[in-house]
Every structure is written in structure tokens, then in C-alpha cells.
């Protein structure tokens, strides 16, 4: 079995890579969830849809960062795109609770001042990441939840929808059957190092399939699923949220980088392949450090992920996306524009 392979093999074949920076002008990394995706890799048509979505997300972020836009702008634009794409478990297409309803979480954090905002268990906000940003910028709080968060978002003029807006034909099947085998991958996240040298992290999710209503995972918990600090890294996580909360994964990575002086790739690999595996915690993360180094480890059979960066003094950008063990240069023939 995959989990019984040696640590070295895991590093080689799970995409747990660290890319060393060469005076990078800006960097963006995205993820669309980690999980069991063996069947997807064998379906060229469906795989192409995910590759295209990851490519488009990176392109959206690149447009903002290349023009000098700041990290929060890029992170929100990218996550808005994911939230509006039914392929992912965030916004439209979110997974459902055991009661057949939808409760969404999101968080965003800026590394320059450690300001952060999050919402949990929202039911009517079309784009939860926008509500999280509004909490960060328009309240003295860090997290709002449930009906209070929905009401706050409405009071700020954010678009509201009926709870069933988040359903797709597939999720309607889940609501009718609620079968364990009908799980979906897809928590989404984005981390950025912008031209100003600031780090930003954001995460959005529909949560765990068939979760108890009121359950909150790691995504909106600052330090567990989302964290950014200009003195270390920006991190967005995806996986079994209870374990990511217990291990404070996002902050843990930043602490190992900052205090143990571990490279971001080494710190991320240790947490994902040693700490979490020891406790049956499945998932992955994306991270970029203050120098533009990238890490994208996962301990499942795959993770939807991609990165783009531009080195100083160069005009071209480096961009790759991946689903399983491989990273590929996006095929423009199936790129979807926002």
C-alpha cells in the first residue's frame, strides 16, 4: 500500500517538493484539496478539467501580482474563482452535512501585521473568503460563525444566496443517499509572496462530507489550516481537519522554519509525513516562505496543486500544475479564463 512505502519514496512520488528561490519577484501557490484520486488520474477528460482550473487560478493571480497588486487581492481573486467552480469543495459544489445542508468556512491572513479574518458555518454567503476578509478589515474580531457571520456579511453588502445554491447534481445525489463512498476532494487555498515582499494565505472549504451540523474544521482556524507571517511563511492546509487543528499545522510549520531554522520544504515534509501520518491524519499543504521557496507535500494519493513565480530581472514566469505525483506545464489548449 501507498502508506507503507518508505519516506524517501513518499517524497519522490507524492509531490512533496521544495523549490529554492532565485531572487523571486513574486510567487503564487494554489491547492484544490488532497485525497484519494487514483480514478481521476485515469480519466483524461476529467483530469483536463482540473488541470485547466488550476492553470486558470494561477493566471488570475498572476495578472494581479504582475501589475503590482497586493497579496490579499490575489488570494481573494483566486479563491473566488475556486468558490465559483463546482469542481471543488468550496462555495458552489461544497460538500454537505449529515442533514443535507451546506455550512462553509474560510480564512485569510496577512503576514505583514498578522491581521486575520475568518468565518465558520456560513450558509448564505456566496463567497465566504470575501466575508472572511470583511471580518479582518471591518471588525475588531478574528472569527465570526453561523448566523452571526451570515448577518454580518449581509450587512456589508456581500452577495447572499439560498443554501441550496451550493448544491450541484453530484451533491444532490449525496443528499439523497449520503453514502460514505461518495466523498469529494476539494478544499481550496492560495498563498502568495507579492512584489512588496509581503506574505498572504487564504483557505476556503465546504468541510467534511456528512459532518455533524456545526462542525468546524481547520480551514478557518488561524494557526491550524491558515497562517501567514512575514518573518517565516504563508501556509494553507487541506485534509482531515481535526488532526490539523490538534497539531496546529500551519503555525507549526512557521515555527519550525523560524525557530529551528528548517527550510520550508523540510519543515513541511516532516509535519505531513511524520507528525500527521503517526496519527492517521491525511492531507497536505502549500507554503511559500519569505524568500519565495515553495513546499507542496501531501500524504494521500494526490493533491490538486500548482505554482507560478517570476524571478527578478526576467520577463517569463515559471508555472506548473499537478494532480497526482507529477507536475506538468499547463496545456493552453484547455485553459479556462475567469
Catalytic residues, by residue number, are 187
Rounded Cα gap, residues 133 and 119, in angstroms: 9
In degrees, rounded to 5, the angle at the alpha carbon of residue 33 between the alpha carbons of residues 289 and 52 is 95
CA distance 176 to 155: 34
| Selection from 30, 33, 23 nearest residue 62 by Cα | 30
The vertex-27 CA angle with 229 and 241, nearest 5°, equals 55
Taking CA atoms, 273 is separated from 62, 76, 250, 321, 322, in Å, by 31, 29, 14, 21, 19
3-class state of residue 186 by DSSP: coil
Separation of first and last alpha carbons in the chain: 39
Q: Write the DSSP assignment of 72-141 as a string of letters.
A: HHHHHHHHHHHHT-TTSSSSTT---BTTS---EEEEEEETTT--EEEEEEESSBS-HHHHHHHHHHHSS-
Positive or negative CA dihedral for 30, 36, 42, 44? negative
Q: 156: helix, coil or strand? A: coil
In what helix (H) or strand (E) does residue 267 lie, and over which residues does it extend? helix 264-270
Which residues, other chains included, contact 100 with Cβ-Cβ below 8 Å and sequence gap of 6+? 175, 178
State how far the alpha carbon of 152 is from the alpha carbons of 117, 124, 138, 245, 253, in Å: 13, 11, 10, 26, 32
Amino acid at each position: 500500500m501507498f502508506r507503507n512505502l518508505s519516506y524517501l519514496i513518499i517524497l519522490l512520488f507524492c509531490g512533496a517538493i521544495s523549490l529554492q528561490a532565485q531572487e523571486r519577484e513574486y510567487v503564487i501557490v494554489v491547492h484544490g484539496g488532497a485525497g484519494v484520486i487514483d480514478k481521476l488520474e485515469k480519466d483524461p477528460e476529467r483530469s483536463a478539467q482540473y488541470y485547466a482550473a488550476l492553470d486558470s487560478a494561477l493566471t488570475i493571480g498572476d495578472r494581479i501580482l504582475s501589475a503590482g497588486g497586493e497579496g490579499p487581492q490575489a488570494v481573494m481573486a483566486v479563491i473566488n474563482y475556486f468558490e465559483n467552480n463546482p469542481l471543488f469543495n468550496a462555495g458552489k459544489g461544497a460538500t454537505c452535512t449529515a442533514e443535507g445542508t451546506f455550512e462553509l468556512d474560510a480564512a485569510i491572513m496577512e503576514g505583514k501585521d498578522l491581521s486575520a479574518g475568518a468565518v465558520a458555518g456560513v450558509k448564505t454567503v456566496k463567497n465566504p473568503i470575501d466575508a472572511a476578509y470583511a471580518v479582518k478589515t471591518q471588525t475588531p474580531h478574528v472569527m465570526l460563525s453561523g448566523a452571526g457571520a451570515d448577518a454580518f456579511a449581509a450587512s456589508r453588502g456581500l452577495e447572499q444566496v439560498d443554501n441550496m445554491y451550493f448544491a450541484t447534481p453530484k451533491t444532490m445525489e449525496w443528499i439523497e443517499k449520503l453514502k460514505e463512498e461518495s466523498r469529494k476532494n476539494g478544499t481550496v487555498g492560495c498563498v502568495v509572496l507579492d512584489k512588496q515582499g509581503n506574505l498572504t494565505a487564504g483557505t476556503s472549504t465546504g468541510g467534511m462530507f456528512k459532518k455533524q451540523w456545526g462542525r468546524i474544521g481547520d480551514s478557518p482556524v488561524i494557526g491550524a489550516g491558515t497562517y501567514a507571517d512575514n518573518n517565516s511563511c504563508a501556509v494553507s492546509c487541506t485534509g482531515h481537519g481535526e488532526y490539523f487543528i490538534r497539531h496546529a499545522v500551519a503555525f507549526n510549520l512557521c515555527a519550525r522554519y523560524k525557530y529551528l531554522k528548517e527550510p520550508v520544504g523540510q519543515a513541511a515534509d516532516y509535519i505531513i509525513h511524520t507528525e500527521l501520518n503517526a496519527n492517521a491524519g491525511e492531507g497536505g499543504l502549500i507554503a511559500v516562505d519569505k524568500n519565495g521557496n515553495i513546499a507542496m507535500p501531501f500524504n494521500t494519493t494526490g493533491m490538486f496543486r500548482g505554482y507560478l513565480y517570476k524571478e527578478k530581472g526576467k520577463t517569463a514566469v515559471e508555472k506548473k500544475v499537478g494532480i497526482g505525483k507529477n507536475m506538468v506545464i499547463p496545456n493552453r489548449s484547455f485553459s479556462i479564463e475567469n
